[in-house]
Structure 1
Amino acid sequence: MSETLTIRPEYERELAPFTAAPVERPLPWQSRVLRQGWLRKLLILIALAVIWEVVARVQDNDLLLPTFGATARAFFDGIADGELPGKAAVSLSVLLQGYLAGIVLAFVLTTLAVSTRIGRDLLDTLTAMFNPLPAIALLPLALLWFGLGKGSLIFVLIHSVLWPLALNTYAGFRGVPETLRMAGRNYGLRGLRYVVLILVPAALPAILSGLKIGWAFAWRTLIAAELVFGASSGKGGLGWYIFQNRNELYTDRVFAGLATVILIGLAVEGIVFSSLERLTVRRWGMQNG
């Protein structure tokens, strides 16, 4: 018994015009403005300045806490007479030397760690020994070994940068997918070329995190060390500026020096490291914005 197939006639369904669909309304200007990250951070800084001004006026003791206005005047006076820029240049020149030396040593250690078993044992042992040790605790030894001057500062800066950067870099190397490792070996890459061409690009987010942590450790270690060096030798950068004005009870200048330290930190974080992340890991899709 055969069944009769019924062919249904074709038909077209008319769709509603596109213009009739609901159109999403644009966000209010307040919401669009607040989506700007730099503006949100600026508003936070303004709020902190207002709170500072109110608390200082309520306390009414410039020796303990000067107002934000008084600190701002001391800051711009220090900029105008060239004292603050000069002290900042001294600090940054020493910091750059110690920071770069720490980066080179960290790269050497991590390269050995991923290349040989003895290198891995060496890195694990050294980081377990020295990473918990505060860099400023080595300052007395630095004074004995290198004397008063730039060498002692660079020594403690290398210690503050080396271990956190080496740990982050090594953790990034260990997190590289095995497929990338195999691809590098298939191309015949070994030793330094294998590290530079395969491991470093894949571990770049962890390396940048280590660079930022090392920078923060080095910057605060330098300021603390300069307080001691300033008291000993009468020379130094921003740390000496803060120490000297504290002795002379110019509290507004002390806060101006601290504000300079903070502003330099914000500038390095917001310009240098943000630009590196934007040009590398974010551009390559290795990190979300």
Structure 2
Amino acid sequence: MKEGQQKPIAAQDAELEGLDRLQTDTRGPRNLRKTLVRVLAPLIAVLALILIWQLYVWLGGKRQDVVPGPLDVVATFAQLWDQGTLQQAVWTSLQRGLIGFVVSAVIGTALGLLLAQVRPLRTAFGPLISGLQVLPSVAWVPAAIIWFGLSDGTVYFVLLMGAIPSIINGLISGIDQVPPQFRAMGTVLGASKTELSLRIILPAALPGYLSGLKQGWAFSWRSLMAAEIIAIGGTLGFGLGSLLQRGRDLSDMGMVMAAILMILFVGIVVELAVFAPIERRLLRGRGLLPG
């Protein structure tokens, strides 16, 4: 074929199809390797930590009732499972955490949009919201017990006070990063303030909003554990924090370690099963991750 002469359309399509097939063939093994690394790396890290833990128990010379080994903790897990105590504690805490987080997300989103849109309110209440985010949630427990008694109201109040400020600040931070052209375009198209907030600003602020939600979940889970450890008795149910406190009262380090590991496990599962897929989908939809 002479220089400058175009190839037939069929030949061009065949070449493009071959390039696509080559790209797909190379992408498959690469994605498989990435998946294996993503799965195996945490498992190897956990196994390494367990090995270090067991070696410390063998070589540290500590009493077994003070520093139990991994097998001792597994035995405690099995005992608590047979008694039904572990299932009850996990279900109670997870139910409280999810309900409290959903309520926190609704309240935090509404307040965040309001503060972000009304500058005088943000100027007046912004420092207070940041201060509440820094304040340790455990500081609310004594006041909550006086106000609500030993009831679920105490736990939910502490949880809300821990999660809502983080969600508000995350949403405000995401809205601050929205280009002003988006607002101008919505105004030109005749969007009302409500439509501008819900259909333009909020979707554009999703990365920052999602970060605020993740931080809000972390704060709500920590706040829940603090409330369950301190507020025990009355009509309060038996959660993971209560299990941890029971282990301390009985000087049972196996139960203490089992409760700590279960609290950690639930937090990791919620992160990997809920927030990580949403974050990947969001970033992929914006072209920040490969499809």
TM range (shorter): 0.7 to 0.9
Pairwise mapping of residues 67-86 of structure 1 onto structure 2 (< 5 A)? 67-86=69-88
Secondary structure of 1:131's aligned partner: helix
Inter-partner Cα distance in structure 1 for 2:86 and 2:192: 49
TM-score by length of 1: 0.83
- Structure 2 residue runs of 5 or longer lacking an equivalent are 4-25
- CA deviations 1:35-81 (Å, max 9, x no partner) are 52121111111111111111112234112110011112212332343
Structure 1 residues 287 and 229: CA distance shift in structure 2, 3 A: farther
Structure 1 residues 144 and 288: CA distance shift in structure 2, 3 A: same
Structure 1 residues 75 and 242: CA distance shift in structure 2, 3 A: same
Structure 1 residues 234 and 183: CA distance shift in structure 2, 3 A: closer
Matched, 1:37 2:38: yes
Inter-partner Cα distance in structure 1 for 2:191 and 2:75: 59
Q: Which residue of 2 aligns with 1:209?
A: 211
The structural deviation recorded for 1:286 is 5.5
Identity between Structure 1 and Structure 2 (%): 29
CA contact (8 A) 1:205 1:286 kept: no
The structural deviation recorded for 1:193 is 1.9
Q: Which residue of 1 aligns with 2:181?
A: 179
Secondary structure of 2:92's aligned partner: helix
The number of aligned residues is: 265
Structure 1 residues 34 and 95: CA distance shift in structure 2, 3 A: closer
Q: Which residue of 2 aligns with 1:14?
A: none
Matched, 1:143 2:145: yes
CA contact (8 A) 1:95 1:219 kept: yes
Matched, 1:285 2:282: no
CA contact (8 A) 2:130 2:169 kept: no
Pairwise mapping of residues 110-121 of structure 1 onto structure 2 (< 5 A)? 110-121=112-123
Greater helix share, structure number: 2
Structure 1 residues 218 and 170: CA distance shift in structure 2, 3 A: same
CA contact (8 A) 2:88 2:238 kept: no
Structure 1 residues 243 and 231: CA distance shift in structure 2, 3 A: farther
Q: Which residue of 2 aligns with 1:242?
A: 244
Structure 1 residues 137 and 202: CA distance shift in structure 2, 3 A: same
Secondary structure of 2:63's aligned partner: coil
Inter-partner Cα distance in structure 1 for 2:103 and 2:236: 26
Pairwise mapping of residues 115-130 of structure 1 onto structure 2 (< 5 A)? 115-130=117-132
Residue 94 (structure 2) aligned to one of 86, 92, 95: 92
The structural deviation recorded for 1:102 is 1.5
Q: Which residue of 1 aligns with 2:269?
A: 267
Inter-partner Cα distance in structure 2 for 1:34 and 1:92: 29
Moved more, 226-235 or 72-81: 226-235
Pairwise CA RMSD? 2.6
Inter-partner Cα distance in structure 2 for 1:147 and 1:100: 23
Matched, 1:224 2:226: yes
State the one-letter code of the partner of 2:38: G
Structure 1 residues 182 and 33: CA distance shift in structure 2, 3 A: closer
Inter-partner Cα distance in structure 1 for 2:263 and 2:271: 12
State the one-letter code of the partner of 1:55: Y
Moved more, 247-256 or 128-137: 128-137
The structural deviation recorded for 1:220 is 1.5
Q: Which residue of 2 aligns with 1:62?
A: 64
Inter-partner Cα distance in structure 1 for 2:98 and 2:69: 33
The structural deviation recorded for 1:203 is 1.1
CA contact (8 A) 1:109 1:166 kept: yes
